[in-house]
């Protein structure tokens, strides 16, 4: 009887540390959130002296698909909708964005930007080709998301302007989408910058 109880107990004592090591370790969300926030503030400090590259969506694949199916009217309508939305965004940047230097590209230039933005085809505020900004500058990217997305810690965020790093990974929660999206995006960057400067002066950044 004693042996029947002893052997399972010894086995349990031996196997418990092994199981504990093998168990997946889930990250502390609060700690991760704090680390990402600090990293984001550092990037905003650099962005102030760098450039923001904003990507316009073209819906190119969707439009081409409609045209192949003979749905010319639907393709034309979608192209007009995309054009109207992009013109609206440009107007908002003209009026409401002054945090840093901003340049524009179409989304199909993303891979080139990731490798060397100075080789990408940029467009001006009239959507005409323009010279790429000088290479070697710190930059972040941004775009407008029409759907819900998930941030770095897998939390759902609403549609809006999303700030991203050089690899187009989201680094800050987007601004809620409405007619003053760019204006609020600009204000938020300024607020983040002031906060980063305060932390920097206190030696916390």
Q: Label each residue of 9-33 as H, E or C.
A: HHHHHHHHHHHHHHCCCCCCHHHHH
Tokens describing residue 190: 């300024």
Would you say residue 42 has pLDDT above 60?
Answer: yes
Q: What is the reported pLDDT for 153?
A: 45
Would you say residue 111 has pLDDT above 70?
Answer: yes
Rg value, the chain, Cα: 24
pLDDT, tens only, 115-145 = 999 999 999 999 999 999 998 999 999 988 7
Question: Which residue did the predictor score with more confidence, 155 or 135?
Answer: 135
How does residue 152 score in pLDDT terms, banded at 50, 70 and 90? very low
Q: What is the reported pLDDT for 135?
A: 87
For the residues 8-32, what does the mean pLDDT come to? 58
Cβ atoms 158, 174 nearer than 8 A: yes
Q: Is 70 left (phi over 0), alpha (psi -120 to 50) or beta?
A: left
- Those residues whose C-beta lies under 8 Å from the C-beta of residue 62, and which sit 6 or more positions away, are 78
Would you say residue 63 has pLDDT above 50?
Answer: yes
Tokens describing residue 87: 């013109």
Cβ atoms 72, 188 nearer than 8 A: no
- Those residues whose C-beta lies under 8 Å from the C-beta of residue 157, and which sit 6 or more positions away, are 148, 149, 150, 151, 170, 173, 174
Would you say residue 4 has pLDDT above 70?
Answer: no
pTM reported for the whole predicted model: 0.76
Give the domain ranges of the chain: 27-201
Q: Is 154 left (phi over 0), alpha (psi -120 to 50) or beta?
A: left
Question: Which residue did the predictor score with more confidence, 132 or 35?
Answer: 132
Q: What is the reported pLDDT for 38?
A: 82
Torsion angle, CA of 96/100/103/104, rounded to 10 degrees?
-50
Q: Tell me the C-alpha distance between 166 and 119, whole Å.
A: 15
Helix (H, G, I), strand (E, B) or coil at 181: helix
Q: What is the reported pLDDT for 26?
A: 54
């Amino acid at each position: 009887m004693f042996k029947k109880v002893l052997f399972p107990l010894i086995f349990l004592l031996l196997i418990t540390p092994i199981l504990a090591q093998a168990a997946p370790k889930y990250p502390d969300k609060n700690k991760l959130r704090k680390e990402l926030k600090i990293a984001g503030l550092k990037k905003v400090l650099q962005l102030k002296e760098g450039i923001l590259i904003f990507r316009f969506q073209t819906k190119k694949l969707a439009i081409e698909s409609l045209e192949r199916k003979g749905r010319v009217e639907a393709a034309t309508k979608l192209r007009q909708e995309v054009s109207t939305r992009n013109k609206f965004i440009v107007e908002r940047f003209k009026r409401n964005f002054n945090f840093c230097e901003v340049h524009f590209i179409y989304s199909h230039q993303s891979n080139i930007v990731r490798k060397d933005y100075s080789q990408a085809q940029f467009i001006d505020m009239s959507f005409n080709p323009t010279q790429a900004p000088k290479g070697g500058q710190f930059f972040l990217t941004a775009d407008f998301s029409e759907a819900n997305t998930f941030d770095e810690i897998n939390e759902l965020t609403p549609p809006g302007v999303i700030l991203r790093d050089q690899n187009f990974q989201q680094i800050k929660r987007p601004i809620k989408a409405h007619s003053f999206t760019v204006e609020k995006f600009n204000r938020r960057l300024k607020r983040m910058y002031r906060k980063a400067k305060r932390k920097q002066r206190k030696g916390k950044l």
